[in-house]
Amino acid sequence: MGVDFRYRRLGYLALNVTDIERSTAFATDVFGMDQSGEGDNGARFFRIGPSHHDIMLIPAEEPGFVRSGWELESEEDLDKALAHYQRIGLSPQRIPQEEAHMLGLERAFRIVEPKLNTVWEYYARMNYTTVPRTNTLTNFQGGKHYGLVIPDCKAVTDYMVENMGFLVSDYLEGWKASLLRAWPNPNHHSFAPLQFPAPRPTFHHLAFMVNEIDDIGKLFNRIKRFDVQIQFGIGRHPTSGSIHLYIYDPDYFVWEYTLGMEQFPEDGAREPRRMSADPANLDLWDAVPETIHAGKFPGLVTG
């Protein structure tokens, strides 16, 4: 891990959606988030806690993954990250103050990583709100992660470990998938590159950690009232140990509730495990994922 900066957490994701009203209803009425404001070009922000936003939904003709935003531990770490990416030739671009203000950020920069050509945003300070959330459907823990479908998991994993400050927690035999944590964040994983035969990187899922099994049970029953389809679960992952429920949103993005993820110490963590790819070992509760949108992965990476 050849970096000298420290992650605090995955801060937010930005996604293009085809019907902002339907997606807003899903995020609030089904998933349990608070709408927390609007941005440029009709974009809307949603939060699960005191930060300005945890997801940004942007109206577009086609659904797609836009970028991930990563919060570092300090302004000093932000400076170190900027210098690191300049040093390895990724030409980080500082975000103009007007856009940073719209995003609730003090200062930030973006890079395009070279393996998947996805946009990564880095910042240290996002606006903190003392106004309590009004949506009481779910008790969110605050952690989150996401996954992308990619053509070469091993190459992406190696690059992120060597150049972006990630560590491997577990991987699937043959490097069909890896689960990467943003050091020193303790969560088992914040990013999951998943290898499937796809012509280009596509968005797979986003996940939010909840506090109680009741949150997952209530979602399981709530989605029936909204005619929302389950993609995977209720089940338990053999890697992180998390109890999970994956569901589809209006654009066939997959959203997940997850509970009980393994936590890693900053130092002295266990070695990554080579997990079996046998379908019998896919889930500890014998849950089987549905074929994603009839075998088509929506959400082309747009960055």
| Beta pairing, strands 178-182 & 140-150 | unpaired
DSSP per position, 149-182? EES-HHHHHHHHHHHS-EEEEEEEGGGSBEEEEE
Question: Which residue ranges form the domains of the chain, and what is each CATH number?
Answer: 7-123 (3.10.180.10), 142-301 (3.10.180.10)
pLDDT at 302 (0 to 100) = 45
State residue 280's pLDDT score.
Answer: 82
User: What is residue 291's predicted lDDT score, i.e. its pLDDT?
Assistant: 67
> What's the mean per-residue pLDDT of the chain?
94
pLDDT for res 1: 66
- What is the reported pLDDT for 294? 42
Residue 226's Cβ-side half-sphere holds a number of Cα atoms within 13 Å equal to: 23
- pLDDT in the model for residue 148: 95
Q: Look up tokens 């577990």; give the residue.
A: 170
Structure tokens at 12: 């937010």
Q: 36, 41, 29, 28: which is closest to 12 by C-alpha? A: 36
| Alpha-carbon span 276 to 268, nearest angstrom | 24
Report pLDDT for 197.
Answer: 73
Look up residue 293 and give its DSSP letter. Answer: G
Give the chain's residues under pLDDT 70. Answer: 1, 198-199, 291-303
Whether the ω angle into residue 234 lies within 30 degrees of 0, i.e. cis, is yes
- pLDDT given at position 295: 45
Strands 64-72 and 202-210: unpaired
Q: What pLDDT score was predicted for residue 201?
A: 83
This prediction's pTM: 0.94
Beta strands of the chain (E only): which ranges? 7-17, 34-38, 44-47, 55-59, 64-72, 93-94, 108-112, 119-123, 140-150, 166-172, 178-182, 191-195, 202-210, 230-236, 243-248, 254-259, 273-275, 300-301
